Structure 1
Amino acid sequence: MFERDTEIYLDRDALREDYQPERLVGRDTELERYKTALQPVINGEQPNNIFLYGKTGVGKTAGTRFLLDHLVDDAAQYDDLDLTVKILNCDGLSTSYQIAIHLVNKFRPEAEQISTTGYPRSTVYEMLWDELDRYGGTILIVLDEVDHIDDDSILYQLPRARANGKLEEAKIGIIGISNDFSFRDDLSPKVKSSLCEEELQFPAYDAQELFEILQQRANVAFREDVVDTSVIRLCAAYGAKDAGDARQSLDLLMKAGDLAREAETDSITEDLVREARDVLERGRIREGISGLTQHGHLVLYALVTLDQQEETPVRSRDIRPRYMSFAEQVGIKPLVPRRMRDHLGELSMLGIVTAIERNEGRRGGTYREYAVDMDIDLILTALEETVEEVGIHESVLSLVEQDRTLSEYT
């Protein structure tokens, strides 16, 4: 029933997010600054604490893994340098307590792992200090998606552990990676001063940088003559339009390749790229919206209705009255303004909403305005249950009725 096909791909995995190329393209400036920030490690000095921020898919994690792999290899040539690197993704971990437990288990063998509950916080921290000193030497701890942590105790304790007499043998360096530009602003001053010794911002890729990334991966992934330059440039152009996300661009090229394989053609065309984009965008909207809480759905629905009344871009304070009205209609208590803004930030990271920074100087200050950045029909389809619960707002009445009419004939 199954047999291998080899007409399109040589190595499809080269288009995946976790593929590590021999050279990272499109990030020369950022990697050079990053390398400089890591230089104290190879010198045997106290490591810098480094904070990276930028949108999803701009190379923060890939650049970190790339440089740390080289750092570990290069450190091995020095007899007086004992380097340990541990990477923890904080997605799903919302407290310092959870982070501390997972770090303890990172340093322990499987047979000695501790449970995720049942210990006083002070005991867990003592376990962590013991494990770090047991390893000794220089230890780099990478906290990816660090913005998921609601309290910043661990972000203060780790960088200051040696200065506060918690550690004697180990020198700790923290690398925090965040998709949320505002996360740093919410840190307490004492955490900000220690965690953010060195700050690196990874901007969105432009079309040329995305083209170089896609070309590099395509040379490994596809057979000769399967994909030409025009196809790669189209994928890069779409990626630049979609917030400069390399991950989305690679997904687009892979989906186009899969469609070519499914159609049993011997090459990827621009039409297949456009078809792939439509498929991915529909799936991304459904997946992104389905992962939101009920409040997230209400915030998005409020913004959609304002968009259809041509009132966007709009500030969060102007979205709030409609969001509160919708929450009232479904019988739930509205979130406080800050938590509502968190949902707007999440929608922005998902690429469903655009957040526009405004700066009006001393008098007006800095603020954000929000606008819908995806097909309204697709969003309303994904919000179907919310629309039913709240009721059809007059601004989207014609769109919802049109969708229902079409569904009757399909």
Structure 2
Amino acid sequence: MGLFEPDTNIYRDRDILREDYQPEKIVGRDEELQQYISALQPVINGDQPSNIFLYGKAGVGKTACTGYLLSELQSDAEEHDVDITTIRTNCEDLSTSYQVAIQLINELRSSEEHVTTGYSKRQIYEMLWEELDKVGSTVIIVLDEVDHINDDSILYQIPRARANGNLTEAKVGIIGISNDFKFREGLSSKVQSSLCEKELQFPAYEAAELRDILRQRADIAFHDGVVPDAVIAKCAAYGAKDAGDARQSLDLLMETGDIGVEHQAEQLTEAHVDEARDSLEKSRVVEGVNGLTHQGQLVLYALLILNEEGKTPTRARDVQPQYEMVCERAAVDPLVPRRMRDHLGELAMLGIASRTERNKGEAGGRYYEYSLDTSPELLLEALEETVDIVGKTESIQKRFGDQLS
């Protein structure tokens, strides 16, 4: 017998739980789907597509709903003899309109005709108009994570391409997908007026909706009888509590299944869910902390010390003295307050800390308060090297004692 043998007791198809799986039916998003269908209706009529922007946190179904509806739209369009071309681009690694335009051109060309940088922006846009007009008819451009683009040139150029005489054959619409609810506020007024025709908000999932999503996937991914309702409910409850994020809930269910395989279980249990959550949380914290710069880790350690002294939630100006003390012990120069606040914001973005806006009116003004949003025990373990360099404050030693030895 070899070292590796197929596991057949738990999983039927583990890949069903992965992010790139497109379900045949979307559950938990009836209202949003109906609004989305209405926004896409002009396409099936052969009219100019509306520009549509979707907003919501990661894992709330924006990309899944888009993939599902565009597949349905393509199928229905063929039945009604409407010609539609869809181009999907993830902008996570594309920071400029110039890079996005090149990516779109290459999506429309064969690999032998791909272009790279070296052309002027005007030349690149001329190539893009040429390729789009070659396609003709209706073209829908999906820009996932569109908020990563630092300039809004392409978001102005494409919607106005026909009006400016750059396109004569193609009718182009943009679907922008963003995790940043304030993305539109950062666009210039001229872009806002010509771009955002339809906006859809995707709220966080509630526990009941997450249960439906998990049960739908579990029935395909696992063998019959392996995943009881109590396990589904617990994974959904954790997901709803954390962020209403279906991706997190599915990751938790997959990790639960993997632990079941490791334990050679015939059925998953709530204890498996608890073990899976601890494992994922530890991995998330370690990965997040390791991804911080040295200064970011020092800011985090300062916030951790304040937490153990019972001084959180706290304002950035009250973190600064503690942070400067930590820097002094680490023999590094502290950052100016503005840069230190940037690191606090990064901690909040990563989910390691939380940031709450306060408004005290004319007398107190508006400001943010910061708190830890992660287990101090896990943070200390992840910050082991930083703790060794900086040393342990009295509050840290009192709380954790021999754990740090």
Common fold: TM-score over 0.5? yes
Does the CA-based 8 Å contact 1:327-1:334 persist in structure 2? no
Q: Quote the residue 2:102 is aligned against.
A: 101
Aligned counterparts of 2:294 and 2:158: Cα–Cα separation in 1: 35
> Which of the numbers 50, 53, 62 marks the counterpart of 2:64?
62
Aligned counterparts of 1:323 and 1:187: Cα–Cα separation in 2: 35
TM-score scaled to structure 2, two decimals? 0.89
Aligned counterparts of 2:201 and 2:362: Cα–Cα separation in 1: 25
Aligned counterparts of 2:44 and 2:324: Cα–Cα separation in 1: 54
Q: Quote the residue 1:408 is aligned against.
A: none
CA shift digits 1:24-67 (9 cap, x unpaired):
11111111111111111111111111111111111111111111
SS at match of 2:79: coil
2:138 counterpart of 1:161? no
Distance change (3 Å), C-alpha of 1:7 and 1:237: same
Aligned counterparts of 2:327 and 2:88: Cα–Cα separation in 1: 39
> What letter matches 1:220 in structure 2?
I
Counterparts of 1:4-403 in structure 2, within 5 Å, are 4-79=6-81, 81-115=82-116, 117-316=117-316, 319=319, 330-331=332-333, 333-334=335-336, 336=338, 340-341=341-342, 344=344, 346-358=346-358, 368-387=368-387, 392=392, 396-398=396-398, 402-403=402-403
SS at match of 2:227: coil
Aligned counterparts of 2:244 and 2:292: Cα–Cα separation in 1: 23
Does the CA-based 8 Å contact 2:141-2:175 persist in structure 1? yes
Question: How far off its partner does 1:381 sit?
Answer: 2.5
SS at match of 1:354: strand
Does the CA-based 8 Å contact 1:90-1:143 persist in structure 2? yes
CA shift digits 1:143-197 (9 cap, x unpaired):
1111212222222222222222222211111111111223332222222333322
Aligned counterparts of 2:360 and 2:39: Cα–Cα separation in 1: 33
Aligned counterparts of 1:77 and 1:188: Cα–Cα separation in 2: 40
Question: How far off its partner does 1:105 sit?
Answer: 1.0
> What letter matches 1:183 in structure 2?
F
> What letter matches 1:85 in structure 2?
T
Distance change (3 Å), C-alpha of 1:57 and 1:97: same
SS at match of 2:159: helix
Does the CA-based 8 Å contact 1:351-1:373 persist in structure 2? yes
Structure 1 portions without partners, runs of 5+? 406-410
Aligned counterparts of 1:63 and 1:240: Cα–Cα separation in 2: 19
Does the CA-based 8 Å contact 1:380-1:400 persist in structure 2? no
> What letter matches 2:66 in structure 1?
T
Stretch moving more, 120-129 or 395-404: 395-404
> What letter matches 2:102 in structure 1?
I
Aligned counterparts of 2:149 and 2:135: Cα–Cα separation in 1: 26
> What letter matches 1:54 in structure 2?
G
Does the CA-based 8 Å contact 2:323-2:334 persist in structure 1? no
Stretch moving more, 231-240 or 378-387: 378-387
Aligned counterparts of 2:191 and 2:322: Cα–Cα separation in 1: 36
Does the CA-based 8 Å contact 1:306-1:312 persist in structure 2? yes
Does the CA-based 8 Å contact 1:180-1:345 persist in structure 2? no
Aligned counterparts of 1:197 and 1:393: Cα–Cα separation in 2: 55
> What letter matches 2:26 in structure 1?
L
Does the CA-based 8 Å contact 2:88-2:141 persist in structure 1? yes
Structure 2 portions without partners, runs of 5+? none
CA shift digits 1:277-317 (9 cap, x unpaired):
10011011112232334454344344334433434334556
Does the CA-based 8 Å contact 2:327-2:333 persist in structure 1? yes
Does the CA-based 8 Å contact 1:55-1:204 persist in structure 2? yes
TM-score scaled to structure 1, two decimals? 0.88
SS at match of 1:24: coil
Distance change (3 Å), C-alpha of 1:141 and 1:238: same
SS at match of 1:6: coil
Aligned counterparts of 2:226 and 2:388: Cα–Cα separation in 1: 46
Tell me how many residue pairs correspond in the alignment: 401
Question: How far off its partner does 1:136 sit?
Answer: 1.5
Stretch moving more, 301-310 or 265-274: 301-310
Aligned counterparts of 1:352 and 1:207: Cα–Cα separation in 2: 23
SS at match of 2:143: strand
Stretch moving more, 242-251 or 360-369: 360-369
